[in-house]
Amino acid sequence: MPAREAGNSERIWQVVAAIPPGHVATYGAIARGAGLPGAARRVGAALRGLPAATRIPWHRVINARGRLSLPEGSDAWRLQRTRLQAEGVEFRANGSIDLGRFHWDPGQA
């Protein structure tokens, strides 16, 4: 029997859903929180497959550099940025987020 099912997306979504409003989490942190260390790329794939009307707060997931990984200028990029700002997350002039202030680690949950 397969030690780990391929349907890890479920677990990933669960961790993402736990990110408190006004905070963000990196892809790597989500992967670790889901028990999938090193599978940061899987997190992006899982979010990529979410329906547009999902209630999962996918916009709270950013990369380790404190930047949005979506193509800058795209609709999704703007939506993510808008939602985060609406929650109180501040963007620096260069477009990055201060992880020291806004990053949330699944481990504390």
Asked if residue 7 binds DNA (CB under 7 A), the reply is: yes
Three-class SS of the chain: CCCCCCCCHHHHHHHHHCCCCCCEEEHHHHHHHCCCCCCHHHHHHHHHCCCCCCCCCHHHEECCCCCCCCCCCCHHHHHHHHHHHHCCCCECCCCCECHHHHECCHHHC
Listed ranges 55-63, 84-92, 101-109: which one lies at the site for DNA (CB under 7 A): 55-63
Closer Cβ to DNA, 20 or 49, answer by number: 49
Residues 58-87 vs DNA: string with x where CB under 7 A?
Answer: xx-x-xxx---xx-----x---x-------
Q: Which of residues 26-45 bind DNA (CB under 7 A)?
A: 26-28, 36, 38-45
Closer Cβ to DNA, 18 or 76, answer by number: 76
What span, in angstroms and rounded, lies between the C-alpha atoms of 89 and 78?
14
Q: What residue ranges bind DNA (CB under 7 A)?
A: 4, 6-8, 26-28, 36, 38-45, 47-48, 50, 58-59, 61, 63-65, 69-70, 76, 80
